[in-house]
Amino acid sequence: MNAEILENLASCLLRGDQASAAETTRNALEIGIPATEILDKGLIAGMAVVGEKFKNNEIYLPEVIMAARAMHAAMDILRPLLAISNTRPLGKVVLGTVRGDVHDIGKKLVGMMLEGGGFQVIDLGTNISPQQFVKAVEEFNPTHIGMSALLTTTMPAMKDTINALIAAGLRHRVKVMIGGAPVTQAYCDKIGADGYAPDAASAVELARRLLV
C-alpha cells in the first residue's frame, strides 16, 4: 500500500500533475506515511526519473518545468511537518542558489530540513550573486551560508562567492556549506568551503558539526 501510493506520487511528477501530486501527498500523510519517507521515496525518487528521462531526451524542458511545479505543490504540504518551530535556533543559515542557476527544489528541501533541525533559515532564492551573499552576511550576521548549484557551469560561482567574502573581510564570520548534484567533497576542498553535504538530511548534520 505504502509503496503503491509513493509510486503513484512519483508518477504524478512525471505527468506534471500538480493537483494529483498535492492530493496524493495528503493521502499518503493520512494513511500514516512519514513526511520524510514521502519526500525520499515519492518525490525525490520521482524527480530522479524525470532527470534521467530529460538526460536521455525522452522528455523535454516543458515537462521538466511541469514536474518541478508538481514537486513544489507537494513540498508546500510537507513543509510545516518538516519544519518544527524552535524558540532558540541553533544557528542562522543564509541559503541561496548561486549566480546563473535557477534550480531551487533541492535548495528548498535543504532549507526545510535545516528549519526542522532547529536552524533559522533566510532563503535568498535563486541566481544569487556573490555580492548578494556578501550583503546578506552583513545584514543578517548568519552562522552559516549555504550555496546550492545544479549546473557544472554555475559551480564556479561558489568559489567567486568565497572570494567575495574574503575580499569583504567576512570569511571568518561564517561557515560556508555547499551542495547540489554536481558538487563533490573534492570540489569543496578545492575551493576552500567548510563543508559539503550530498543531501538535505546530511546538510543538517553538517550545519550542526560546523557549529562546534
Cell numbers found for residue 155: 559551480
In terms of CB distance, is 21 or 32 closer to ligand B1M? Answer: 21
Asked if 168 is part of the footprint of ligand B1M (rule: CB under 6 A), the reply reads no
Asked if 102 is part of the footprint of ligand B1M (rule: CB under 6 A), the reply reads yes
In terms of CB distance, is 1 or 155 closer to ligand B1M? Answer: 155
Asked if 177 is part of the footprint of ligand B1M (rule: CB under 6 A), the reply reads yes
Asked if 156 is part of the footprint of ligand B1M (rule: CB under 6 A), the reply reads no
Asked if 57 is part of the footprint of ligand B1M (rule: CB under 6 A), the reply reads no
Nearest CA-CA partner of 120 in 166, 83, 147, 68: 83
Question: C-beta of 115: minimal distance to ligand B1M in Å?
Answer: 13
Nearest CA-CA partner of 117 in 98, 79, 136, 90: 90
Of the ranges 4-12, 30-38, 84-92, 95-103, which one interacts with ligand B1M (CB under 6 A)?
95-103
In terms of CB distance, is 33 or 75 closer to ligand B1M? Answer: 75
Asked if 47 is part of the footprint of ligand B1M (rule: CB under 6 A), the reply reads yes
- SS3 of the chain: helix, strand, coil, percent, to 5: 60, 10, 30
Decide if 35 contacts 81 (C-beta within 8 A).
yes
Residue 98 bridge partners (DSSP): 128
Asked if 103 is part of the footprint of ligand B1M (rule: CB under 6 A), the reply reads yes
Euclidean distance between the first and the last CA atom of the chain, given in angstroms as a whole number: 43
Question: C-beta of 21: minimal distance to ligand B1M in Å?
Answer: 14
Asked if 61 is part of the footprint of ligand B1M (rule: CB under 6 A), the reply reads yes
Decide if 117 contacts 90 (C-beta within 8 A).
yes
Single-letter residue type at 180: G
How far apart are the C-alpha atoms of 46 and 28, rounded to whole Å?
15
How far apart are the C-alpha atoms of 134 and 152, rounded to whole Å?
22
Positions in the binding site for ligand B1M (CB under 6 A): 44, 47-48, 50-51, 54-55, 61, 64-65, 68, 100-107, 109-110, 146-148, 150-153, 177-182, 197, 199-200, 203
